[in-house]
Structure 1
Amino acid sequence: MTLPRSVWASLFALVAATIGMGLVVPILRPLSVAFDASPAQTLLLVSVYMVCLGAAMPFTSAVSSRLGVRRTLVGALLLNVVCGVVSSLAGDIGVVICARAGWGLGNALFLATVLAVVIEEAGALSGRAIRYFEAAVGIGISAGPLAGGVLGAISWRAAFLGSATMMLVAAVSLMILLPRAERGPLATGVFAPFRALLQPGLLVLGLASLLYNVGFLMMFTFTPFPLARGPEFVGLVYCGWGLALVFSSTFVGPRVQRRIGTLASFTVGTTGFAVVLVVMAVFADRDAVLVAGVISSGLALGVSNTMMTEAAMASSSTDHTTTSAAYNLMRNAGPAAAPWLAGTLGESLNVHAPFLFGAISAIVAVVLVLALMGREVVAPVVSRV
């Protein structure tokens, strides 16, 4: 069986949209220099983006159920286009931070809705569709730093303008390729995602996702500062990370899952990620180790992301749109302060501290899953995945 055309159209738009997410990483240091901002101030634009992304997630199902998924996806991407243009014209770091807040809102509407569309349209092939979803995110994020590095070598303004262009391409592709869909017969309540989090299985998995994503965001956003290399070099490194993520989520994750199960695969992947962060913490002053650590973390995270998404989407009895909104609230809003915290720890302590803190957070996620996966509240989830 093959995936429907609507799934491939959504995945194509997802790749184009997520390019704008990873594109900002290679220009973080140039932005810091251009605006004479500290690492903590510069990374605040990432944290604000994550706060707005996560805070808007609970309300995405209410919006899409009223507007329809096609209008929601296209409208979200067009909002991102505006924010990208505003960022490219910014005269100080505050304008960029405000624009990234709007960008977070747009991506919240897009990411939660497109995940639900992919799962619904895939039907019995939802497991494969989720793996392709995570792979598409990896492709977009890997291409983003590469594009950011190339355009950032010209100007950080060119990088933001390029991102806005990609968002416009994504919006046009959805208008052409995604079938028109009517609004659902029943509008979803605004508080439905919060009620979904009262289900123990989804809550536990959401907390675990929150914790290991703290480690991921610290590593992902802070590494360019101790690496202290040009945007082209940083872009290539993060492109390598994305390619490793795609390979792992597409080929490695499914094989590990068949052997040991979904949640056990998450445990293995997240433990491996924590080990990588410990090594990066010890050798944070060595460029070769930082480069190898970023790329190898993609292999571990490819397994963790796919397994956790699949488990979370199977853990709730609510509809996919509501479950996606609830899970993404935990996954994105919870660790939103991690980039700012990484910059603060790097400034106030040393360059080793952010990586060590991230490793501890990932280990706590593993302990949480190991402690609760066999208990009665999570046992139904284990049996389904």
Structure 2
Amino acid sequence: MNADHHSSLLAAVKGQPKQVWITAFAAVIAFMGIGLVDPILLSIAEGLHATPSQVTLLFSSYLAVQVVAMLVTSAASARFGAKRTVVAGLSLIVVATALCAMAGSIEQLVALRAVWGLGNAFFIATALSVIVGAAAGGQAGAILLYEAALGLGLSVGPLLGALLGSFSWRGPFLGTSVLMACALVLCALFLTSDSRADRPRTGILDPLRALGHSGLLRTSIGSAFYTAAFFAVLAWSPFVLQWSAVAIGLIFCGWGLCVAVAGVALAPRLAARLGERRATVVAVLGYAALLLVMLVPSKPLLVVAIILSGLVSGLLNTLFTGTAMSVSDAPRPVASAGYNFCRWLGGAAAATLVSQLAEWLGFAQGPFLIAAVLCVLAGGLLAVGSRTSDSRTMPAGAALIGEEV
């Protein structure tokens, strides 16, 4: 199994055409945007005289717009083509991140993060289809490359945010704008346009109709609960730790590397051993256990739990999506859009409410307790009342289907 996995990973990397690497590079930069602001939350709060609840809106606005945009990305790609959708998304990100670096108030920054989220939704919803369509060696290898880009972006984002943020909180936004501009130029020059005949016909309401399938709906709601817990850790940990940008960046760099390793190397093995749905239940309950560990008022223990949670998040990012893609007979892009609508709705709600939860519960680690409860509920939704059969292996192409973050 080890040899098979390493050979498949090597095959995925070797001999890929130029546009696969260009899209993968752009995907790394796009995924960096999720954790980029994490190490500089305290610096932004200080520089713009903002409260913790205002600063966590940087996640909320980004995710909330992404939630709505997920419903229209597949339709946009079908209408305008993958290349135009990717270029439009990257253009929005370049403009939004450059303007973020010049923002004069927290309100402006929150609004610009919303534009950033819109651009990111159009890009990441289309990037996998571009990679799969152009990749040598089939869909499975393309998905491995995409998972690697996801993990690399999640790990590099906090580190870049920390290093540039140690000079000014504006630095990470400017750096991202420059990198994204490079990705935009490369994609505009080297990606090939698809023909109209190759584009599937997709309506805007099709993703919501797909959620009429009980198995997909249950999986999507469970993923929303997990994603809420995920963003409780991502958005609130810096306020509990109260450490420097560099320290927070290093912690979440380690976390992101764990996400990458688990998503690419561990999730397929766990799914093959237990079946996708059962593996997802085990992993999400494991995440609940780690969140309970975070309730202990010890910063070193919290750091260890955060980094280890990256392993579980890597598993769940892959397993939840694989389960969602295999549980219904809806076309994968449509099922993926409906699933991700629910998923990111959970993240947006958590990022919005996390500071209020800490105030209501009366202790700093309070959001982690609520997050643990949500993970238990997610496990229950998947474990109880499911009438779908649980395949022993992950279907090809279902491991990650586009909008992982």
Match of 1:379 among 385, 389, 405: 389
Aligned match of 2:300: 288
1:88 alignment counterpart: 101
SS at match of 1:335: helix
Between stretches 251-260 and 69-78, larger displacement belongs to 251-260
Q: Deviations over 1:99-147 (max 9, x none)?
A: 0111111111112222344455569844454444333212101100000
1:335 CA displacement: 2.9
Partners in 1 of 2:390 and 2:280 — Cα distance?
A: 17
- Does 2:367 match 1:324? no
Do the aligned residues in 1 keep the contact of 2:229 with 2:375 (CA within 8 Å)? yes
Q: Deviations over 1:218-257 (max 9, x none)?
A: 0111000011011111101000000011111121222222
Within 5 A, what are the aligned runs for 1:90-105? 90-105=103-118
How many angstroms apart in 2 are the aligned matches of 1:59 and 1:71?
Answer: 14
Q: Distance between the aligned counterparts of 2:63 and 2:240, measured in 1? A: 22
Q: 2:55 aligns with which of 14, 39, 42?
A: 42
Aligned to 1:372, the other structure's residue is in SS state coil
The offset of 1:359, in angstroms, is 0.8
Please list, as runs of the form range in 1=range in 2, the aligned pairs for 1:214-253 lying within 5 A after superposition.
214-253=228-267
Is the alpha carbon distance of 1:123 and 1:372 closer, same or farther for their aligned partners in structure 2, counting shifts above 3 Å? farther
Q: How far has the Cα of 1:192 moved from its partner?
A: 1.4
Unaligned runs of 5+ in 1: none
Contact 2:275 2:391 survives alignment (8 Å)? no
Q: Distance in 2 between matches of 1:314 and 1:9?
A: 29
Aligned length: 380
Which 10-residue stretch deviates more, 290-299 or 176-185?
Answer: 176-185
Q: Describe the shift of the 1:345–1:169 C-alpha distance in structure 2 as closer, same or farther (beyond 3 A).
A: same
| TM-score normalized by the length of structure 2 | 0.88
Aligned to 1:274: 288
Equivalent in 14, 19, 34 of residue 21 of structure 1: 34
SS, match of residue 332 in structure 1:
helix
Unpaired stretches in structure 2, ≥5 consecutive residues? 1-7, 396-405
d(CA) in 1 for partners of 2:75 and 2:190? 24
- Pair 1:206–1:132, CA change in 2 (3 A): farther
Q: Is the 2:357–2:367 contact (alpha carbons within 8 Å) kept by the matching residues of 1?
A: yes
* Matches of 2:321 and 2:186, distance apart in 1: 26
1:2-21 matched pairs, under 5 angstroms: 2-3=11-12, 5=17, 6-21=19-34
Could you tell me how far 1:259 is from its partner in structure 2? 1.4
Q: What is the identity, as a one-letter code, of the residue corresponding to 1:328?
A: N
TM-score scaled by structure 1? 0.92
Q: Corresponding residue for 2:399?
A: none
Instruction: State the match for 2:46 in structure 1.
Output: 33
Find 2:176's aligned residue among 163, 166, 169: 163
Q: CA deviation at 1:322?
A: 2.2
The SS at the match of 2:290 is helix
Report the Cα offset of residue 200 of structure 1: 2.3
CA RMSD, Structure 1 to Structure 2 (Å): 2.2
Instruction: Output the CA distance in 2 between the equivalents of 1:22 and 1:127.
Output: 27
Is 1:302 aligned with 2:314?
Answer: yes
Q: CA deviation at 1:21?
A: 2.1
| Identity across matched positions, percent | 37
2:192 aligned with 1:182, yes or no?
Answer: no
Who is 1:212 aligned against? 226
Match of residue 341, structure 1, among 338, 347, 353: 353
Match for residue 274 of structure 2?
A: 260
Change (3 A) 1:363 1:131: farther
